[in-house]
């Protein structure tokens, strides 16, 4: 059984000074013995100070690397300190830390990489997204359900738990490209014998910051998702085993 001391909660935050302190406090309440690491991804506001004041440890990226870069910092931190679980919670407050324990409980602490996704469409909460973005998300979900051989409904969710093997894998391979951090990371996990599962979680509206979605962007998002899936079809599948890189 995993205890909270083994859990590192990684909060990637880019200009989330308004919300990050609240997230840290809620996480601390939900999982009092977990270690909280806020990865300040080159913020230009007071994100780092707010997080530190709220009691989190803060690692600051020199410049903005995107969620993928922030998360790899978190995974490498966790791997170096032998944490057994990494839970990603976004810094904008859209995830409810009270669901954190259910995500961690869904990990079985197996020797292969495990990723548990907190899925927003799986019935809980009232989560609304623009139509084109929803198409893109469905397309991705369908594709990844095929790859992972399990029904996944929300593969772009940034609320996830990872076991030790997934931490070690992602400390080396977590992708940084747009979208890749959420979607391609799952593909990488599966290619390395990993198992993906999902747990329904409720989603709240953001407590701070501006949502990054309008019609033009959503259309662009759909186009990029389609292109990415097309490339994925033809991609060279290099074996990326743990032994190989060791």
Partner 1 sequence: MSGVHIIAIVAAVATIAVIVELSRRRQLREKYALIWLASGAVMAVFAISPGLFNDLAHSIGVKNPPDLLAVMACLFLLMVCVQFSWEMGRLQDRTRLLAEEVALLRNEMQQMRAGAEGRVGTLSPARVEDPSA
**Is there binding between residue 81 and partner 1 (CB under 8 A)?**
yes
Do residues 171 and 77 touch, judged by C-beta distance below 8 A? no
**Is there binding between residue 63 and partner 1 (CB under 8 A)?**
yes
- Count of residues of this chain found to bind partner 1 when the rule CB under 8 A is applied: 24
Among 32, 44, 62, 210, the residue binding partner 1 under the rule CB under 8 A is: 62
**Is there binding between residue 52 and partner 1 (CB under 8 A)?**
no
Nearer to partner 1, 75 or 159 (CB): 75
HSE-up of 225 (CA within 13 Å, CB side)?
23
**Residues near 193 by beta carbon (within 8 Å), at least 6 away in sequence:** 112, 113
**Residues near 128 by beta carbon (within 8 Å), at least 6 away in sequence:** none
**Is there binding between residue 14 and partner 1 (CB under 8 A)?**
no
**Residues near 235 by beta carbon (within 8 Å), at least 6 away in sequence:** none
**Is there binding between residue 60 and partner 1 (CB under 8 A)?**
yes
Do residues 96 and 16 touch, judged by C-beta distance below 8 A? no
**Is there binding between residue 65 and partner 1 (CB under 8 A)?**
yes
Among 9, 20, 24, 73, the residue binding partner 1 under the rule CB under 8 A is: 73
Do residues 30 and 104 touch, judged by C-beta distance below 8 A? no
* Least Cβ distance, residue 69 to partner 1 (angstroms): 5
* Least Cβ distance, residue 175 to partner 1 (angstroms): 8
Among 57, 109, 124, 191, the residue binding partner 1 under the rule CB under 8 A is: 57
Nearer to partner 1, 48 or 141 (CB): 48
Do residues 95 and 83 touch, judged by C-beta distance below 8 A? no
Q: Which residue has the tokens 């959503």?
A: 218
Among 1, 80, 231, 233, the residue binding partner 1 under the rule CB under 8 A is: 80
Q: Per the structure block, which two tokens stand in for 157?
A: 């969710």
**Is there binding between residue 12 and partner 1 (CB under 8 A)?**
no
**Residues near 217 by beta carbon (within 8 Å), at least 6 away in sequence:** none
**Is there binding between residue 72 and partner 1 (CB under 8 A)?**
yes
Cα–Cα–Cα angle for 40, 200, 18, nearest 5°? Answer: 30
* Least Cβ distance, residue 209 to partner 1 (angstroms): 21
**Cα-atom radius of gyration of the chain, to the nearest Å?**
17
**Is there binding between residue 240 and partner 1 (CB under 8 A)?**
yes
**Is there binding between residue 162 and partner 1 (CB under 8 A)?**
no
Do residues 152 and 139 touch, judged by C-beta distance below 8 A? no
Site of interaction with partner 1 (CB under 8 A): 35, 39, 57-63, 65, 69, 72-73, 76-77, 80-82, 171-173, 176, 240, 245
């Amino acid at each position: 059984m995993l205890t909270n001391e083994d859990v590192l909660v990684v909060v990637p935050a880019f200009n989330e000074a308004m919300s990050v302190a609240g997230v840290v406090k809620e996480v601390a309440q939900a999982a009092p013995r977990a270690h909280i690491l806020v990865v300040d991804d080159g913020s230009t506001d007071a994100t780092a100070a707010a997080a530190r004041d709220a009691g989190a440890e803060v690692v600051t990226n020199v410049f903005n690397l995107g969620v993928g870069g922030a998360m790899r910092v978190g995974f490498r931190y966790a791997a170096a300190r032998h944490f057994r679980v990494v839970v990603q919670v976004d810094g904008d407050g859209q995830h409810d830390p009270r669901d954190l324990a259910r995500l961690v409980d869904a990990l079985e602490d197996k020797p292969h990489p495990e990723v548990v996704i907190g899925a927003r469409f799986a019935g809980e909460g009232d989560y609304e997204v623009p139509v084109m973005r929803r198409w893109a998300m469905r397309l991705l979900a369908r594709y990844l359900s095929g790859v992972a051989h399990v029904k996944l409904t929300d593969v772009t969710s940034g609320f996830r738990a990872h076991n030790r093997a997934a931490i070690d894998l992602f400390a080396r391979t977590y992708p940084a490209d747009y979208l890749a951090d959420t979607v391609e990371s799952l593909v990488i996990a599966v290619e390395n014998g990993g198992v993906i599962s999902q747990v329904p979680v409720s989603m709240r509206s953001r407590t701070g910051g501006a949502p990054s979605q309008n019609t033009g962007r959503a259309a662009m998002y759909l186009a990029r998702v389609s292109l990415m899936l097309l490339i994925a079809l033809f991609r060279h599948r290099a074996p990326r085993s743990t032994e190989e890189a060791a």
